Amino acid sequence: MTSSSHRSSHRSSRRLRRQLTVAVATLGLAGVLSSCGFDYATNRPNEIANGGQNIEGEVHVMGARIVSPAEGTGTFIATLTTDAQADPATFESLTGERITAGEFQPIEIDTHGMVNLATDGGVPVTGEFAAGDAFTVTLGFTNGEELDVTAIVVAQCHEYEDVEPQASPTPTRAPRGGDDEAADEASAEPTGEPVDCEYPSAPPFGGGEH
């Protein structure tokens, strides 16, 4: 065999090895992706951690939560945004089968704007709920739009400790079609047991009897 033929054979052998390596790596990656899947919970928004959301219209509601210091009372919070081409929107009402909302000042969201009720002041609510619950509430806007969103009830602990309703809210009112008694309920002091913010402690290692 001539030297040129030997070099050509050597190059062909190296090319074949590279092609085999690429093929094996591709098959391995495909196996990993197929085992992980593309529609598992790890690839979708975590509704429990982040709160419910509704991003279908020009007004978007994200991270909807009710921060509860005790069973039956809490503060509704969420992040409200509008599209870049949308008109400003004003959030004016909050209703739901399991809650009664207290009076709050309407909240305007500018075009392509954002309001975070966790820091700007949320809506006081009372009702039949406790930390860990999740249910639908409806946000009403002055333009007539109503958005349904799942509100996750979280304990007013740790990162939620400083959440407060709007400062110095005006007297509470009943929801549309309601009465003064419902408004009084919305402003009542909590009657449930305060939530326990202590993390459970582990038993001492090796201290138990066998």
Compute the average pLDDT of residues 71-92: 94
Q: What is the pLDDT of residues 144-171, one digit of tens each?
A: 899 999 999 999 999 999 999 997 544 4
Question: Between the CA of residue 21 and those of 13, 33, 79, 171, 198, what are the distances in Å?
Answer: 12, 19, 49, 72, 54
146 versus 7: the higher-pLDDT residue is 146
Q: What is the pLDDT of residues 9-42, one digit of tens each?
A: 555 556 655 565 545 444 454 454 444 554 444 4
Hey, is 209 helix, strand or coil? coil
Q: What is the pLDDT of residues 130-143, one digit of tens each?
A: 999 999 999 999 98
Cβ atoms of residues 117 and 160 within 8 Å: no
> pTM of this prediction?
0.65
Architecture label for domain 47-186: Sandwich (2.60)
CA distance 120 to 191: 26
